[in-house]
Amino acid sequence: MNVKETLIAFVLGATSIFAMHLLYVEVDAQADDEAVVAAVNGEGSMRLIDPDAAPGPGERKVLLKPPPYEPPCEAKVKADVAGLRNRIAALEARTDEGTNEKATRRSRSSMTEAP
């Protein structure tokens, strides 16, 4: 390649990189605690409005908050963690009472048992 072809390739490459930066858009999901403000008319149709904007004639402003969502697996994990904390507290109580050996034997045998 001669100098002219190299220069053209460089300029086209730089231009394409610049164009990609202009076209790049980062999409973010709505935050969990944000509410959406909508204007509702008597027919039941809604349209989004700015929080500071006044609704149109015959419309009323409605604040829509997303419902709290907890994935189903999180509830099971929290229940398992709570059960384990209760077992640890019971073992610590037995240790405090001076029955460390019995508590240790029970905890080892309960660990090997299948649920």
Mean pLDDT of 46-52: 89
CB atoms within 10 A of CB 30: 9
What does the CA dihedral 16, 22, 26, 30 come to, rounded to 10 degrees? Answer: -160
Residue 24: CB partners within 8 Å, gap ≥ 6?
A: none
pLDDT in the model for residue 14: 93
Residue 28: CB partners within 8 Å, gap ≥ 6?
A: none
Residue 59: CB partners within 8 Å, gap ≥ 6?
A: 39, 40, 41
**pLDDT, mean over the chain:** 79
pLDDT in the model for residue 7: 93
pTM above 0.75, yes or no: no
